[in-house]
Structure 1
Amino acid sequence: MSAALPALTAPTGRRVRVLPGVYAPQHDTHLLLRALAREAIRPGADVIDLGTGSGLLAVAAARRGANVTAVDVARRAVLTARLNALIARRRVAVHRGDLAAPVPGRTYDLVISNPPYVPSPHGPPPRRGSARAWDAGPDGRAVVDRICEAAPSLLRAGGVLLMVHSGLCGTEKTLRRLAEHGLSATVSDVAHVPFGPVVLSRMSWLHGRDLLDRRADREELVVVRAEQR
């Protein structure tokens, strides 16, 4: 373990290592961890974490006795997740790739995801760099919609999707999209948190596109819970 690699305190109180350029655990991570803690995960349940980042959520599921697969497009995120699983002494299969592409044909009892969701004035999501952990196209839904579309084929009967995102990219749109794909979806948790530096840097643009109320002084985060009927 490199002494130069900073250790951060996660919302669980546990220490995690995060390589430069990898999304570090933040308010959205905390909210999704809280939702994960409410799920009845039986030992041996199959779980996949899409866009694992630091691997914190994947490790949390592994601590509950689940068989966990974690995927991220970023090479540094894959290395970080593997490192944190090693430190925690938990078995997590970490793959590099786009959503569930590295594990074709597999199904799961639980799908968890903290995808990129911040609307961006810079066009399509970037293909490299740290910004691809948050920039998600002009409406913030470039990855969220893909997860909504993929979830039915990833979930077993009775399986659950837990996904966190900002209200900026449209909570009702997510609920409708999941329903269109045959899932029963609700908002299971909500938090209002201070605007982060990315949102603050594009406030005028967000206001101009009517994606953010000019009176708002905090960002709404939601956890969407969807179940395979």
Structure 2
Amino acid sequence: MTVDLWEGAMRQVTHLRSDLAAWTRESIAVDLGERALEALNRDVAVPASLAAERGSRIALLTRLFWLGETLDDDDLREALPTTIADGQPADLPFLEVATDGWRSRWQIVPVDVPDHLRPMIKESNPESTAAQTDTVWIASTRGALQGNRHASDFVMGVGGASRTLASLAAYQPGQRVLDLGTGSGIHAILAALAGARVTATDISQPALELAEFNADLNGAKIDLREGSLFEPVAGERFDVIVSNPPFVITPPSARGTVGALDYRDAGFEGDQLSSEVVRGLSDHLVAAGRAWMLLNWEIAQGADDPYSALRDWAQPGLDLHVIMREQLPVTSYIEMWLADGGLRPGHPDYEPSYRAWLTDFDDRGVTHVGLGYVSAGPTCQSPEDAGAPLFLGQHLRGTAPPNLHAYVESLWRQRNLTPADLTALAPIATDVVEHRFYHPGEPDPWIIKFTQTGGFGEEILATTALAGFVSVADGELTTGQIIAALAELLSEDPATLTSQLLPKVVEMKRLGMLTFVAPHCE
């Protein structure tokens, strides 16, 4: 269903958009300093609060909307000149009366539009504030920055994980997009501004209300529907599904003291919610559709494969690329989410919540939890192989690269190339440097390895033959031609060298260190 809470207030929201246009992450860094912005990113207020005492308009907007401080009438008029000129503060849906002035009803923050989406937004909505500033503004419930413990109606803002998901997902004009568990609406808004036709669902009425406000604030049109997971879109298919669902694994025994936090925990057992999302993709994606999502999954004690749960969830004909951001021990996982909900050591609910949570994991033999991103889509394998979906698991150590979308898409485009395909295609070494290690005085290296300069910084050990192969991987010769030339040069049997080299070439293709094209012709 569509929420109409903001009907009649569109003019004020449009004026607010105009007043916020100069308030971006870049302008905050310039006006208040990088230190203040970095502290705000960590939900720490003091450095920004001190820097904002200088009283500039950027400082006043930061105090009002990000820090949650009170502004008097004069400061409010300076911060929001267009908005206040058109009406009284008491009539504005995003302000509330506070002691000695006015404060924002929600936390509102500027969010950078990911680089790869900017061309689409400028093409589809060239007059939008997002196209002109490369920024959207997202309202959410005030939380840790203001020292608040999260309540049952809490609506999450845009954190680091959501920003990474935004840098991964992509949309084209005219596509049908589903934002599953939209929360504050960041992904739905980016998709709509890029020209897509967007449906967004959530089980939380407060989330839908804020998503509608945020859509209006950014000039985006979204079809909002209330309900759990795929229920509001039964029987419908989409070109793109994007989801940051309430995937936190919280046992029923801990919910009494942790609280009913719909924004992060939908009440499913274990990692069942993540399972339901992955298993439902095949029924809701078109033949060439794509899905991008954030998920948590359980890893059992002694498991050799940290991705085994996701392999089990993948339906026939659905390919998965899983990027594991972290593999946390359950104790670290519990402590992280207790702190996220405002529970810290010393609080009377902290110890019973921790005990119940850890006991549940121990009773079920779960020692770690995987946190990460999933890219998925229908397989393009031949019909006889369609029952065996392709699966790629990677562990992202450190921060995501700035070219995350381009890197993941390069792997996705070549996922179905077989070794036979590669022999007829020309390899190109992509963002790869070679390292050679020598013992003092020795003419030959004892270790040769290739390191990826982009992507996830993957490394692979190399033989002399593989080093020779990569040294001429410039798109001129096919894989088969290079191996034949190396066999002659090294006096090796071509078939034997092929059996030794081709698995390494396939692995470098899998990691994005080699890409393949039709050979260049003179």
Residue type at the aligned position of 2:160: H
In the other structure, the counterpart of 2:309 is: 173
Matched, 1:100 2:241: no
- The reply on whether 1:35 has 2:168 as its aligned counterpart is yes
CA contact (8 A) 1:165 1:223 kept: yes
Could you tell me how far apart the structure 1 residues matched to 2:254 and 2:236 are? 29
CA contact (8 A) 1:124 1:137 kept: no
- Compute the RMSD of aligned alpha carbons: 3.0
Structure 1 residues 119 and 189: CA distance shift in structure 2, 3 A: closer
- What residue in structure 1 maps to residue 251 of structure 2? 121
SS for the counterpart of 1:43 is coil
Moved more, 101-110 or 190-199: 190-199
Q: What is the count of residue pairs matched by the alignment?
A: 217
Amino acid at match of 2:140: V
Please tell me whether residue 80 in structure 1 is matched to residue 230 in structure 2.
no
Task: Report the alpha carbon displacement of residue 175 of structure 1 after superposing the two structures with TM.
Answer: 3.5
Please state how far the C-alpha of 1:105 moved relative to its aligned partner: 1.8
2:107 match: 7
Q: CA deviation at 1:60?
A: 1.0
How far does residue 2 in structure 1 lie from its aligned partner after superposition? 2.0
1:216 corresponds in structure 2 to: none
Flag structure 1 segments of 5+ consecutive residues without an equivalent: 214-218
In structure 2, the partner of 1:208 is 362
Q: Distance in 2 between matches of 1:62 and 1:192?
A: 33
After the TM superposition, which of the residue ranges 1-10 and 59-68 deviates more from structure 2?
A: 1-10
Residues 172 and 114 of structure 1, relative CA distance in 2, 3 Å threshold = farther
1:228 to 364, 378, 388: 378
CA distance in 2, matches of 1:188, 1:65: 27
CA distance in 1, matches of 2:110, 2:227: 25
CA contact (8 A) 2:321 2:376 kept: yes
| Inter-CA distance 109–156: structure 2 relative to 1 (3 Å threshold) | same
| Structure 1 letter corresponding to 2:362 | G
Counterpart-to-counterpart distance in 2, 1:137 and 1:125: 11
C-alpha separation between the residues in 1 aligned to 2:164 and 2:244?
A: 10
Higher deviation after alignment, 193-202 or 49-58: 193-202
Which of these residues, 162, 187, 210, is aligned with residue 322 of structure 2? 187
Structure 1-normalised TM-score?
Answer: 0.80
SS in 1 for 2:157: coil
| Residue number among 250, 264, 269 corresponding to 1:134 in the alignment | 264
Deviations 1:163-221 (A, max 9, x none): 1023557743124312x3431001146368993425886666346355445xxxxx863
Identity of aligned residues (%): 24
Q: Which residue of 1 aligns with 2:517?
A: none
The 1-side partners of 2:220 and 2:161 are apart by 23
Distance change (3 Å), C-alpha of 1:145 and 1:93: same
- Contact 1:171/1:222, CA 8 A, preserved across alignment: no
What TM-score does the superposition give when structure 2 sets the normalisation length? 0.38
Using the alignment, how far apart are the partners of 1:151 and 1:110 within structure 2? Answer: 10
Taking a change above 3 Å as real, the CA distance of residues 66 and 31 of structure 1, as seen in their structure-2 partners, is: same
Tell me, which stretches of 5 or more residues in structure 2 are unaligned? Answer: 1-92, 96-103, 113-134, 142-152, 300-305, 345-349, 380-522
State the AA in 1 paired with 2:167: R
Q: Relative to 1, partners in 2 of residues 1:81 and 1:158: Cα closer, same or farther, differing over 3 Å?
A: same
Conserved? CA contact 1:29–1:114, under 8 Å:
yes
SS in 1 for 2:276: helix
2-structure distance, mates of 1:22, 1:94: 16
Distance 1:171 1:115 in 2: 19
Instruction: Report the CA distance between 1:6 and its aligned residue.
Output: 1.8
The Cα of 1:79 is off from its aligned counterpart by 0.8
Q: 1:137 to 1:60 in 2, by over 3 A?
A: same
SS at match of 1:21: coil
Q: Provide closer, same or farther for how the CA distance between residues 94 and 225 of structure 1 changes in structure 2, counting only shifts above 3 A.
A: same
Corresponding residue for residue 162 of structure 1: 292
Does structure 2 retain, via aligned residues, the 8 Å contact 1:149–1:181?
A: no
Contact 1:52–1:58 (Cα < 8 Å) also in 2: yes
- 1:17 corresponds in structure 2 to 139
CA distance, structure 2, for counterparts of residue 87 and residue 81 of structure 1 = 10
Q: Report which of the two has the higher share of strand.
A: 1
Distance 1:185 1:8 in 2: 35
- Asked if structure 1 preserves the Cα contact closer than 8 Å seen for 2:111 and 2:137, the reply is no
Q: CA deviation at 1:42?
A: 2.0
Tell me which protein shows more helix as a share of its residues: 2
